A and B are shown apart, each in its own frame.
Chain A
Amino acid sequence: MTNNCRRLQPICYTSDDRTLVDALRKGHVDAAATLYDRYAVHVRKVIVRVMGMDQDLPDLINEVFYQALKSTDAIEDGSRLQAWITRVAIHVVRGCIRKRQRKKWLLFRPEREPRTAGPKAGANEESLEMVRWVRDVLDLMPADEQIVFALRYFEEMKIVELAEACGISRSSAKRRLIRSEKRFRKIAEKYPALRQRLDLSAKWRRR
């Protein structure tokens, strides 16, 4: 009769990420919520770094965790759960950016609307203006370049981390980063406010 029985295995996952991964794979009733509570702040930060304060931020966070839950079999090292969920977040963000860019191209209208900053945010108007310009420039860049640029200069990732987050080799990450810097500077030249801040010197113009 034992062979004809289905086995239920309650497991404890409150300790480390490895145990949590086991719980996720076995569909433990509370594992999804634990994953969310453990990494929601990190995921939000990654999304905001790449896309800014986006009106669809809750949907994107939700989607990242849903996608993560669907792909738990792909986790190779349970102890590196944060790196893995960062990769899922980047994957979701890339898909979202590409989708918006396609829509923008097809409908000839800007898709992205920033979430309201509000006066209580504590930032001065000049800084907010700068953020808007930077985000506008990034919106004009291809999704992959936008991501590496944001992760490098906003999230301050090293090349190794950046490569892992994007799922590419280190040399590809380096090349992509250089390309994105050049493109950013080139587009930023058209924005007087940004041009003042950035060192758009002859060195970059020559390149």
Chain B
Amino acid sequence: MSDLEAMGKELTEVEDRLLRDDASIEEAREVFIRRVAVAPARSSDNKIRRLVPALAATAAVVAAVVCTVIWLKQPHTSDVPVGRWLQAPPDGELPLEFSGGDRVIFAAGSRCRVAELNDDGVVLVLENGAANVNVRHRDATNWRVNAGPYEVRVTGTRFTVEWRPDETRFDLNMIEGDVLLIGPLVPDGQRVAANQSFSATISKKQAQLFLREDGKPELPTDILPKREAETFEEAKAQPEARDVERTASTSTVTKKDAEPEPGVPSSAAVKTPSWLEKADDGKYEEAVGMVVDRGMARTLCESDAAALLLLGDAARLIGRLEMASKAYRKLRDRFPGTGRAATAAFSLGRMAFDQQGNCEEAVLWLEVYLNEPSGATLSREALGRLMEAQIRCSRTEPAKQTARRYLDNYTNGPHGQRARELLGEAGQE
């Protein structure tokens, strides 16, 4: 061994000892994941950046405009970025095709996002507008469409779904197969089968499930493929027939109000501020604006549990995530141990995972929800999301434990296949 090699060996021994207490990997990981989530680093981005200095600013702007126009006009086969918001053009559809033959067509002007893309399914978020969904049947799949506050769990089916946040109106028209719908007014889930339609207006607290006799959906035709659109044009030409369909309802779900939390004063017992009326009417933007004008701190201190949950939901639905977080946290501070406090924990976890991409925080809140005695209603969903969040955070061992817990309680749940895969891989290793 030469003198330099001996010196190198001694140096590396010292520095390796120093590395034992070093936390730079954990520090850097957090920053890196956040950096990638905010601005995904792709090779194509790099190439574009290299070209930019060579172009004059004006030329770059013109080129960008031209490229955008061409991009909108031409067929595309590139990947859709997971997590980014997409908007269908005002005068055209936005079709997405997934491997395995699954297909979703968003109506003109619809705003949507592919929140997750896994081997066994996709999570789509429909923020505004309508979509025609065609998912091929498989034994195990984790296909979900989140439309506003509703979640449509899909196993293999064709349906159209529409969410209008300004009217708080949700419509689901089944064409083939069936889905499980979870959301306001149907918190325990509602199975919607072929030829059935579900319609809800949250601000009026009304929901209806009815049978369409001829099985034809009546959503706007511009979201449907050409061949089917013609069929619906024919259907639209027979308004009387549609009226008959409406009267052929098999069941009606109507809830006047949510049940009051034990030990918590109901919203009717206290003076109802005007922002609550706006929120009740589904005018979330106005409601949140009035809360800001009135004073957020004051509202947080004076409102009861139901109002705080409503404020959190309203702020979350319009994307005011900071405000939503404050409302949920205040609810948990002021009304600990209640069902609504547990729901707030779930909402915080869901918001962190779906809207903020913060899997660490999602894990935290979902665990809080699952550990609370009053948090049983959404435990299946919370366990599934917790497992996903743990996988996303690369916490393999806790994810496996959650998967085991999920399978013990919900063997055939929507996350069952994912959980089995996770545990199966562990078995192979």
Contacts and interface: CB of A to CB of B under 8 A. Distances in A.
Interface of A: 1-12, 14, 25-30, 32-34, 36-37, 40-41, 44-45, 48-49, 52-53, 57-59, 61-62, 65-66, 69-74, 115, 117-118, 120-123, 127-128, 130-131, 134, 153-156, 181, 184, 194, 197-199
For the complex of A and B, the 7 pairs showing the least CB-CB separation, nearest first, are A5-B97, A153-B8, A73-B43, A61-B28, A69-B41, A58-B27, A199-B3
Contacts of A41: 25
Contacts of B82: 8, 27-29
Given A29-B82, A53-B15, A69 B36 contact: yes
B32 A5 contact: no
Contacts of A9: 79, 99
Looking at chain A's contact residues, is the secondary structure mostly helix, strand, loop, or mixed? Answer: helix
B201 to A, nearest CB: 33
Contacts of A197: 3, 6-7
Given A1-B95, A7-B77, A37-B394, A127 B14 contact: yes
A55 B188 CA distance: 53
A116 to B, nearest CB: 9
Contacts of B27: 58
Interface stretch (B112-120, B189-197, B310-318): B112-120
A41 B24 CA distance: 10
A130 B77 contact: no
A153 B7 contact: yes
24 contacts: A4-B76, A5-B97, A7-B77, A10-B98, A10-B117, A27-B82, A30-B394, A32-B33, A33-B394, A34-B394, A37-B29, A44-B25, A53-B22, A61-B25, A61-B32, A62-B28, A66-B32, A70-B43, A71-B46, A73-B43, A121-B17, A130-B14, A154-B11, A198-B4
Interface in B383-428: 391-394, 425
B11 A134 contact: yes
Contacts of B240: none
A10 B32 contact: no
B42 A69 contact: yes
Contact of B81 (A14, A27, A32, A65): A27
Contacts of A194: 7
Contact of A6 (B25, B42, B79, B117): B79
Contacts, number: 186
Given A7-B99, A32-B32, A153-B4, A25 B11 contact: no
B80 interface: yes
A184 B211 CA distance: 85
A154 B394 CA distance: 31
A159 B117 CA distance: 43
Contacts of A45: 19
B7 A134 contact: yes
A49 B9 CA distance: 11
Contacts of A4: 75-76, 95
A119 to B, nearest CB: 11
Band of interface residues on B = 35 or more
B79 A66 contact: no
B45 interface: yes
A65 B31 CA distance: 11
B41 A5 contact: no
B319 interface: no
Given A8-B79, A57-B24, A134-B7, A62 B97 contact: no
Contacts of A36: 29, 32-33
Contacts of B425: 14
A7 B97 contact: yes
B18 A53 contact: yes
B24 A27 contact: no
Given A40-B25, A66-B41, A74-B43, 20 more contacts: A6-B96, A7-B98, A8-B97, A10-B98, A29-B117, A44-B19, A52-B15, A57-B24, A62-B31, A62-B32, A69-B41, A70-B41, A70-B42, A115-B22, A121-B21, A134-B7, A154-B8, A197-B3, A198-B4, A198-B7
Interface in B72-91: 75-83
B2 to A, nearest CB: 8
A49 B7 CA distance: 13
A156 B1 CA distance: 12
B10 interface: yes
A193 to B, nearest CB: 11
Contacts of A2: 97
Nearest to B393: A33
Most B CB within 10 A of own CB, among A58, A73, A130: A58
A199 B29 CA distance: 42
B79 A27 contact: yes
Contacts of A30: 391-392, 394
Nearest to B122: A8
Contact of A33 (B3, B10, B392): B392
